[in-house]
Structure 1
Amino acid sequence: MDRKTFLKYTSSTLAGVASGFNLSKAFGGQKVRLRNHKLSKNWAWITETEGSVDDWKYRLEKLKKAGFDAILPQKNFDTIIPAAEKVGIEVHAWLVSLQRGSDTEAQQKHPEWFMVNRKGQSSLSDPAYVDYYKWFCPSRKPVHEYLREEVSELLAYTEIKSIHLDYIRYPDVILPISLQPKYDIVQDKEYSQYDYCYCSVCRQRFKEQYGTDPLELKDPAQSREWKLYRYNQVTTLVNKIALDVHEQNRLLTAAVFPTPDIARTLVRQNWPDWDLDAVLPMMYHNFYDKGLSWIAEAVKEARNELPKTTALYSGLFVPAMDEKELAQAFEYAMDAGADGISLFTDTAMKGKHWKNLRRVIQKGS
C-alpha cells in the first residue's frame, strides 16, 4: 500500500491520574494474560464504517473473539455504539485534527488558518505530496477553538471512552525513507517546500519570543529555538484538549509517529510531553526499511521517555505482514513493554491473520 492510499484511509497519563482517573479501570476492557503474566489490551483503527447494527455486531464479534477490546472509528457512531455495547467492545472516537484536506467549510471561510511553508506557499493552495495535505496552523487560537468544539461534539456521545487525536502534528518535513521513492523524492535534509509553518502568526510570535524572524535564520533546520517553538505549539493544543476531555471524565489518546526521536525529526511532534492517558505509536516497520524486531526497539525507546502511568499500544500495519509476522510483531511489542497493540486495520486481516493472532494473544491465558 502506498502512502497516498494509506493517508486516504485515515483522512493519529499523568493528567488523567491528576483528574481522578483510575487508569487500569478506565482502560479495563477484557484483558488476557500472556505467558510472561503481562495483561494486554488490543485495539483496531476502523476505516470502513458503513453497515447496519447487525453487520457491525458480526464484525465486532470477530474482533472480540480474537482478543480485541477497543475500536477507533471516525463516524457513524449511532450505528456502531449499539453494536459495540452488545458485543462488549469499547468505542473511542478517532479525530483527524490538523490535517484538514476534507474540511471544505474551513478551507472556504478561513484560508488564513492553513500552514505556510518556507517558500511562502500555503498548504491550502500548494499542498505537499498529495492534494489533501492541507493543514491547520497550531499557533492560531481560532484553530484551537475550532478543534475543541469538534471534540465537544464527540463527547456528547456518553458511550465514547476517549478522544483519539490523529494527524496532530506538522506535515512531514522528511518522509519515512521507504516512502520517498514512491514520490520520486530524495530528502537528505529539510527542504523549504516541505518545511512548515512560516505564516504571519508563527513568524510574529517566534520573533516576540526569540527576537528573530524564522525566515531570517541562517539555517532553520539547525535552530533549536525554532524546533522547540513548533513542538510547543502542538503540545499546547493537545494539552488544552486534554483539559476539556478530562473535565468530562473521559480519556485522551493519540496516534503518533513511532518513536519520540522520529516524531520530533520528521513531523515536529514531541508526544512524550503531551497529557495523554494512552499513546498509540504507528510502529510501521516497513515505512522505515526495518525488520520486525525493530518494533521492540521502538517500544523501548518510547517507554524510556513516557511516564510510567501512560499506556502504550503498539500500532501495527497489517498490509505489511503475513499471518506469522503479525503474531511475531505482537510478541515483540509485548515483550518490550507495550500494553497491547492497535491494528491498521481490521479489514486488512485475512483468515490466517485472525487465527494466528488469536493464538498468540490467548497463549497462556
Structure 2
Amino acid sequence: VRDEILIVRGNLSILKGSPEAESVRRYAELMAKLLREAGLEFGVVEDTDVEDGALRGCRIAIFPYNPDISEREAEEIERFIRDGGKVIIFYSIPPRIARLLGVEITGWMRQEYEGQFASAKLRTTVVEGFPLSIGQGSWNVRLIEPVDPEAEVAGEWIDSKGEETGIPAITVHPNGAVMGHVLTAADPEDKKRMLIALIGKLVPEMRPELLRAYASGAAKLGWFETIEEVAGFIESNLKEIPAERAERARRRLEEARAAFGRLDEIKGFGEAIEAIDEARALLEEAFFLSFPSRKGEFRAVWCHSAFGVPGWSWDEAIKHLAENGFNAIFPNMLWGGLAYYPSEVLPVAEEVGERGDQVKECLEACRRYGVQIHVWKVNWNLGGRAPESFVEKLRSEGRLQRDRFGNEVGWLCPSHPENFKLELESMLEIVRGYPVDGIHFDYIRYPHANACYCEGCRKRFEEETGAKVERWPEDVIEGDLAERFAEWRRERITRLVREVSRRAREIRPGIKISAAVFRNYPTCRERVGQDWKLWIEKGYLDFVCPMDYTNDIRVFEDLVRRQVEIVGGKAPLYVGIGASAPGLRADQVAMQIHLARKLGADGFIIFNYDLHVAEEILPKLRLGLTAEE
C-alpha cells in the first residue's frame, strides 16, 4: 500500500558529509514527530529514493530541510507536481520548483535583532483551519516573493513584541506550499494544526481522514493513548491534590468528554479543527490541574542565551519564572573564550558594550523576585564564539585540542597549564565579582573519545607519569599505557572541578557548586573523562544535574532510577528535562517531572528557557505541578 503522505529526508546532504547533515536528520525527525502526534500515517523516503521515482502514487510530499536536491530529484518533483501531486517545502527550494509553486526566492536574511522572526502570523482566510500563529524563534529566513496570481501569502513573520515585519513566512499555491525557514521545535500544538489545515487545503479529498486522525491525536496526553487512559490518570491523582483544585479538574474532564463526544456532529473543516482543539484544551486543563505539587522543591531552568528570553528584559524573564513557581535560573554567561560581562580574564562579547553587564542585570532581577542565580559556564568549548584573534593566539601557543588523527578541535586542551588557569580564573572571577548563589559547570569533559591527543598532552603525560610513549597516540588508546592514560586524562577534568570548588567556597562561603553532566555514567567517565560520581563522593559538587533529554518515558525512568542509585543520597539530584532538546510538549514535561519525583529526584531543571518554554510550558505546569511554592 502506497503512503498518501511522504516525508523526504535530505540524505544527499548526509551522503556528501555536509555540515548540514545533522540538521537534515533533526528536522526530518521533528516533522515525523509532529505528523505522528497529529495522528497521521505517513512514510519516510530519502532524496535518492525520490530520484528513483518514490513519489509516484503518493498525494503529498513534505521536504523538511533538503539543502542538496539534485537535478534528477528536481525533475522527479516536477513530474510529481505535473501528475497532480502536492508538495510542502521548507527553507531550501530549487528555483525550478519555486516557479511551479508560484514564488521566487529573492534572497536570504539573518535576523537584524533578537526575536525578529519569533513567530509566523497566519492568515485563516487563506487556509481554512489555520491557527492564528505558530511560534518559531527563527534566526534567519529565505525571502519568498509570490510571482503567480494563484500564489497567496498565508503567513508573515512577526517579532517577539508582536510587530509585523512585512516579510512573507508561508505561501500557498494549488501545487503546494513554501515556508521561508525550517519548522523548529517550538509550539508543536499549533504546528500540528497548521500541517493538518495545510494538507486539507492542498488535498481537500483527504479532509475526512485528516479530521479523524487529528481527533485521535488530540486525545493523547503524556504517553497515554486514549481519552480513557488520560481520564484514569487524572482520577488517580485527585485524592492527592487540594479539594478545590480536584473539583475543577473533575469538571473539566466531564466537559472534555462531552466535547469529544460532539465532534461527529460538526460539518465544516475549519470548524471541526477548532472544535477538536477546544476539546483537547479542556482535557489538557483537567490533566495539568490534576498533578500534585511539592513544597520547598528546587525548580530551575537553564537559559542558553546570556540575554535571557528573546525579546524580554531580564526583569520580565525572572518575574515570569517566579510567578510560575520556579526558584532558580542558570544563565549561560561565559564560554571557553567569551564572556557576557566586563571580564578581565576572557574576551568580552561586543554586545556587552551595547546591552550592558548581563550577570549584573540578571542578578538584580533575581534579587527583586527571590529567584536563585547559578551562573552557567561552558567549560573548554570555544563554541565558535571566541574572537578569531583570540583563537589564533591559542592556536599559536599550542592550546587547542587535537583528535587522534591530528585534526584541530575548537576546544581548549585541559592539560595545558594556561588553559587550566583561564578556566579556573574565569569561574572565580564570577564568584569574586558577584554575590551569586552558585556557579555551574557545563561541557566539563572532553568533546568525545577521540580527543585530546595533542603533542602537549603527550609531553605532559610523559613528564607527570614517567611513562615513555613509543607510538603516539596508539599506545595510550589501545596499548599498554591505555589504562594509565585514561586515569591521567580524567584527572585533567577532575582537578578543575576540585580547585574551583575549593577556592570558590573560600571566596564566598555558602556558594553552591554544580554541574550539568552526561546521563550515561559510567560511559561518560570512560569516553569523555567526566567522573561525576567521584565529584559527588568527594564533595566537590553540592548538587548534580544529569541531562536526561529523551522523549521516551521508559528510557527516562531507567535513567532517573539509575542516577538515584549512583548519587546514593550524598548530594541532591536535580533531573535535567529536555523541553527544547529533543523537544517535549508541556504534558510530556509534566509527566517526566511527576515521575522523577516518584523515583526520588530532589528537584528538576528544564532546558531551555526560551519563548516557547516561557509561554507554552511554564503556565501549564503552574496549574498543578508548581502550584505550591
Shorter-normalised TM range: 0.7 to 0.9
What corresponds to 1:203 in structure 2? 458
Shift of 1:315: 0.9
Is 1:306 aligned to 2:562, yes or no? no
Shift of 1:269: 1.2
CA, structure 1 residues 3+314, in 2 after alignment: closer, same or farther (shift >3 Å)? farther
**CA distance, structure 2, for counterparts of residue 358 and residue 323 of structure 1:** 11
**CA distance, structure 1, for counterparts of residue 527 and residue 467 of structure 2:** 26
Unaligned runs of 5+ in 1: 10-33, 124-133, 174-194
Aligned length: 304
Q: TM-score with structure 2 length normalisation?
A: 0.44
What corresponds to 1:247 in structure 2? 506
AA of the residue aligned to 2:401 = M
CA, structure 1 residues 364+67, in 2 after alignment: closer, same or farther (shift >3 Å)? closer
The one-character-per-residue Cα deviations of 1:281-304 (angstroms, maximum 9, x if unpaired) are: 111115xxxx12322322232232
2:522 corresponds, among 246, 261, 267, to 261
CA, structure 1 residues 256+85, in 2 after alignment: closer, same or farther (shift >3 Å)? same
Q: Is the 8 A contact 1:164 1:252 kept in 2?
A: yes
AA of the residue aligned to 1:41 = F
**CA distance, structure 2, for counterparts of residue 243 and residue 321 of structure 1:** 37
Shift of 1:65: 2.3
Is 1:136 aligned to 2:412, yes or no? yes
AA of the residue aligned to 1:84 = C
CA, structure 1 residues 307+196, in 2 after alignment: closer, same or farther (shift >3 Å)? same
Q: Is the 8 A contact 2:440 2:516 kept in 1?
A: yes
Structure of higher RCO (CA pairs closer than 8 Å, 6+ residues apart): 1
Higher strand share: 2
Partner SS state of residue 349, structure 1: helix
**CA distance, structure 2, for counterparts of residue 67 and residue 99 of structure 1:** 33
What corresponds to 2:618 in structure 1? 354
The one-character-per-residue Cα deviations of 1:254-274 (angstroms, maximum 9, x if unpaired) are: 111113224225433111122
The one-character-per-residue Cα deviations of 1:106-125 (angstroms, maximum 9, x if unpaired) are: 422222111111112221xx
CA, structure 1 residues 4+110, in 2 after alignment: closer, same or farther (shift >3 Å)? farther
1:168 corresponds, among 432, 444, 447, to 444
Shift of 1:70: 0.7
Shift of 1:226: 3.0
CA, structure 1 residues 63+221, in 2 after alignment: closer, same or farther (shift >3 Å)? farther
What corresponds to 1:13 in structure 2? none
AA of the residue aligned to 1:46 = C
Give the RMSD, CA atoms, in angstroms.
3.2
Q: TM-score with structure 1 length normalisation?
A: 0.74
What corresponds to 1:68 in structure 2? 326
What corresponds to 1:41 in structure 2? 298
1:229 corresponds, among 468, 474, 488, to 488
Q: Which consecutive segments of 4 or more residues in structure 1 shift more than 6 A?
A: 2-6
Partner SS state of residue 401, structure 2: coil
Q: Is the 8 A contact 1:220 1:226 kept in 2?
A: no
**CA distance, structure 2, for counterparts of residue 140 and residue 344 of structure 1:** 31
**CA distance, structure 2, for counterparts of residue 211 and residue 218 of structure 1:** 10
**CA distance, structure 1, for counterparts of residue 424 and residue 381 of structure 2:** 15
Partner SS state of residue 435, structure 2: coil
CA, structure 1 residues 82+260, in 2 after alignment: closer, same or farther (shift >3 Å)? same
AA of the residue aligned to 1:361 = L
Unaligned runs of 5+ in 2: 1-20, 27-136, 138-290, 334-339, 341-357
Partner SS state of residue 198, structure 1: coil
What corresponds to 1:87 in structure 2? 369
CA, structure 1 residues 113+62, in 2 after alignment: closer, same or farther (shift >3 Å)? same
* Larger CA deviation: 56-65 vs 144-153: 56-65
